[in-house]
Amino acid sequence: MPHVVSADGPQSQDQLDRLSAYAEASMVAGNQCWVQLGHPGRQASPLVNSLPVGPSDIGLGGVQGAVEPLTDAQIIETIERFAFAAGVVKQCGFSGVQLHGAHGYLVSSFLNPLVNSRTDRWGGSLENRARLLLDTLAAMREAVGPDFPVSVKVNSSDFQHGGFSLGDMHRLAGWLDDAGLDLLEISGGN
């Protein structure tokens, strides 16, 4: 997305210094500043990506062919990139990190059976559709260690008949708790 801070890939010392100054300035007088990491997926601005990516080729409004389905290797790379960015967040002195898994962003799209029509290990059952989120959480936790706060934002429901449901969210919340999540933010919509 344009006009957002990015920590994608190796950071120069100047970039790390600027992020550290941002963290320090935002935590004056005991405030906390958590960084939310997100990937817009199929909602990517054409200014950033002319062909957005997602779990399947289903674009906004259900248009098929409007999105490039991620390969298995690209999914693994995405997980690694989230973990790397989480490590940068910790290194620069922020209070915590949150993975944005709601509102139709990439992680949310994987959870939504109306958008995720994959038949491999990343699609089908809720366990498979949640794999991107759970594997990303595990990689982020490994990158930041056990004592740095990690949060996830997920939908309570997509509010779409046949989409990610409240029952799905309840099951997912249990898995997130088992994975050692520190904070769960529940939102809604797609």
Rounded Cα–Cα distance for residues 53 and 172 (Å): 23
Burial 103-121 (b: 16+ CB within 10 A, else e): bbbbbbbbbbbbbbebeee
Comparing C-alpha atoms, which of 153, 181, 65, 58 is closest to residue 109? 58
Question: What is the phi/psi pair of residue 184, to 5°?
Answer: -115, 120
- pTM of the full structure: 0.91
Q: Which residues are catalytic?
A: 105
- Residue 15: HSE in the Cβ half-sphere, 13 Å Cα cutoff: 11
Spell out, as residue ranges, where the chain has pLDDT lower than 50. Answer: 1-2
Rounded Cα–Cα distance for residues 81 and 71 (Å): 15
Domain boundaries, the chain: 35-187
| Predicted pLDDT of residue 60 | 81
Q: Which amino acid is at 190?
A: N
Q: Which residue, chain included where needed, has tokens 């062919």?
A: 65
| Predicted pLDDT of residue 1 | 46
Fold classified for 35-187:
TIM Barrel (3.20.20)
What is each CA distance from 49 to 18, 38, 157, 177, in whole angstroms?
A: 26, 15, 27, 34
